[in-house]
Every structure is written in structure tokens, then in C-alpha cells.
Chains A and B, each alone.
Chain A
């Protein structure tokens, strides 16, 4: 498999590789894939006032999967939660010049973004609830 320059660059110099503490305030975590399928992606966002101020990833998968998640973290930073939900795997395919057999790696990245956003929203909701409950009426 011949890789595009951009995939190679992300592989050699992964952007925003690492982890946040899952229970940190404003952090949403998405883990998708399975070891048996040969790909697991962990994507995390850190949100302040509805804006993603930071993002991190860790990926077990081929070079295209690593590049897709690395690119996703770059794109996520600075976006609002709603804007982030608009990122499409086809944009990743285009940016990284992924061949057809590697499209599923970009789909996984889109799924990871969605999972991280959902996790953030769920946490924000329950945090909101507990805050409300804590405030005496």
C-alpha cells in the first residue's frame, strides 16, 4: 500500500497524541472499534463554554486510521460542539487521499468524534442535573 504524504506525516508526527483524565470536567471520551477487528480509536475533547479547546487521540490501527484520528483532533480544536458534529468522514478521505479500502478507517474517526461528543453531552447533562439538585429551591 502506497501511503499519501499526509498520512505519512501524521504517522511520523502525530498531532495531539495522548489522553485526558476521563472524569476531568468538560472532557468527552469516545472509544470505538475492537481489538479483534484490528482497530480501536480513542478520541477525547475538552470543552469550555461550548467550544472545543483541546482534543487528544490514541489509536490502535493501520497508518490510515492513525492519520484519520490525528487529523480529526486538529479539526476539532476551536470548533463548537455543534460544528464538530458536522465533520464527515468524506472530508477526512479527501484531505488524506485515502484509497477505497481505507475508507472504513475514516468512518471510524467520524464515529469516534460522535462518541466523544455524545459522552460530553451526557456528562454535561448529568452534571447540570446534580447541580440543580444541589441548589435548594
Chain B
């Protein structure tokens, strides 16, 4: 087993070597511009792009023409929200989303609010799921877009997207889904889910960074978007700019591999994740699972370790790459807004760690991580005044803290 161990697969994933192999020729021999119609260099590049587009469309049960390449999910989310609002502003000015979306959606919504758009941020339950009835009740005759993620990037909770899709269709409101964490990991079918727009990205599924896609429905209904980038009219005019062909080809290959390996891979990552969960939670008292017990991404595990602070914990296992919802690790010094939205207290939000099991995670790495986490938590609890007080029977909630 090699150190350090990478267990932060929600943040990004390594490129699969098979993806890199597929990309390489497109840097050197097949370097053409896929928009060049008049020579074999262009045709060759175009062929690579077409094939990738087909693989990507197949994975989500869409048509190749419905795939718009972007620089990543952040751009896709921005294009979906801003493009729809701009295009349909005559129809209405109200957008519905949730309070636990990725910053790409939340901040795009915030920026629309500054321009006078009304945004409803729906709450989620303790497990992080939005109630479809809340979505239904929030719709007004001014609502033009619903944007709800498929699976949350911190807690892995999967939303009831198909149910929301039905409501959106019934009410004639467009439905965008940020499926960045779900595509390639769990089955995603845009018809079955009833989504009209969907964002995802290559680097979360063992593809390269800097390439993503926006699915834009062409039939029933035909979705139109105002572009954010003007230029040569690439991608049906919705996203101009010469396509980064090697990245597109890598994205296609990554998707092809996910489609082939998903049945086996999701079972394997889930078994490793379950072992990690049981190994840690079985050995330590006062550890709490954040998110949904079952409606959760196969590789996700988010736990709060009472009485220890997340960043200190990360420091104790620094040969394992993980992330924390603690304020100490964030630039804003605020603990995770996702955990806060679930009703997790600030103290436990500060104590949270996210584990992301992935394609290349091994059983040895999982066992090592369990062992190291237990030792580090015990080391820090030994040092924790809160643990000491709790052991003395003091209810920490009744203590008068000097909140600063």
C-alpha cells in the first residue's frame, strides 16, 4: 500500500489511465479543430468529438444533439440558470432551488437575485432530502425554473428527482438538475427523471479537468437558452468557442468506462464504504452519520465525531486525503452550510469528516483509514475539554460559553 491515500473522490478523481491513452493522440497527430470542415485534420477531430458526444448521450439516455460541452459543471450550472432566466424572462421571474445546492447553483441564483429575480431556497429534511410537496407548493405562475441537485457533494444524499420531474412537467416549469456527483456513479436517465437540463463534469468520473456538459432537452419541451459566451456559434449557439478536443475525447472515454463498469463498481465501492462506516462507527462512541442512511451515493461517507474538531482530525491523519465541514478548513470560517441546513449543530458541523471512496480505493486503504481514524479521534478526545466535561456528566448545552 502506498501513502498518501486518496479518499477525497467527491472533490475530484484521478484520470483513469485508459482515459489518458484515449486522449493522447488528440494532442499531437489528431490535433485538428473539430469545427474545420474542409480538411481531414478537422474531420478526424470531429469524429472524436462525435463519438464522445454519443457515449455521453447514451449514458444518460439523451440524444447526442442535446449535449452541450462546457468547461465543467460550474459553467453548466451557470448557463442553465442564467440562460433560462434570460431566455424566459417574459414568462416569469421566479426560480426554485434548495439550500444545500453546490455553490455553482447557489451563487448563480444569488447573482440572479441581484438582478431582480426571485429565488426560493427550499429547506431539506434531517437526511438532506427536499420534500417534493414543498416544490409543488412553491411553484407560482411566475416560476420559470426549478434547479435541484441529484446527489449532494458533501453528504451524498440523493433527492427524489423523478418525483420532482413529474411535478415540474405537470406545472409546465423547466427543471434543471445538477447531477455532477451522480452521473457515472448511479444510473441516470433524463427521460425517467423528467429533467430538462442537467449539468455534469468529467473530473468527478475519472476524466480530465476542464470539461463538462449541459444536457439541454430538444423535444417535449424544446428548451432554449440565452448563451453566456458569444462567438463562433459552436454547440448549437449555446456555448461558443473551439472545443478542447482531447478533453472531450477523454470525457467520452471516461463515460464509456463508467457505463461498462458501473454495475460492478457501485457494488464494490459501496461495500468498501460500508466497511469504512462500520469499522469507524463500531469502534467509537458518539459518532454520527450525516445524510441519508440508504438514499446515498455508493462511495459517500460523512461522519461527525463529537468533541473533536475536524481540521485537527485531518491533521492527525494527514497521510490520508479527506475533507471536513469544519470552519477551520474554510476560507469563510463558517462551518458547512449543507450540514447546518440538515439541522446539524455548529459543534457537530465543526466535527465532520467526508470520506469519498472511489474506483481506485483498495480494501487495505480502507482498513488503514479505519485504524488511523480511531487512533486520531481517541488522541484528540484525550485532549478535548468538551470530552472531559461530557464524561463528568456536564451537559454542554447548558454551559454559558463566551461565544465570540
Contact = CB atoms under 8 A, between A and B. Distances in A.
Contact of B386 (A11, A19, A35): A35
Interface of B: 307-309, 311-312, 315-316, 326-329, 331, 333, 335, 345-347, 350, 382-388, 396, 401-404
A60 B311 contact: no
Interface string A52-65: 00000011111101
B308 to A, nearest CB: 7
A47 to B, nearest CB: 20
A32 interface: yes
A66 interface: yes
B386 A60 contact: yes
A119 interface: no
Nearest to B308: A60
Given A11-B315, A38-B328, A66 B385 contact: no
Nearest to A43: B385
B388 A19 contact: yes
Contacts of A31: 385
Nearest to B334: A38
Given A32-B402, A34-B404, A35-B347, A41 B312 contact: no
Nearest to B384: A60
A1 B329 contact: yes
Nearest to B331: A101
Given A42-B385, A59-B384, A60-B386, A33 B402 contact: yes
Contact of B307 (A1, A11, A60): A60
Interface residues of A, number: 28
Nearest to A41: B385
Closest 4 CB pairs of A and B: A34-B401, A35-B347, A38-B350, A36-B346
A117 to B, nearest CB: 16
B327 A38 contact: yes
Nearest to A19: B388
Nearest to B346: A36
B401 A59 contact: no
A11 B354 CA distance: 22
Nearest to B328: A62
Interface string A69-97: 00000000000000000000000000000
A34 B402 contact: yes
Contact of A3 (B315, B388, B396): B315
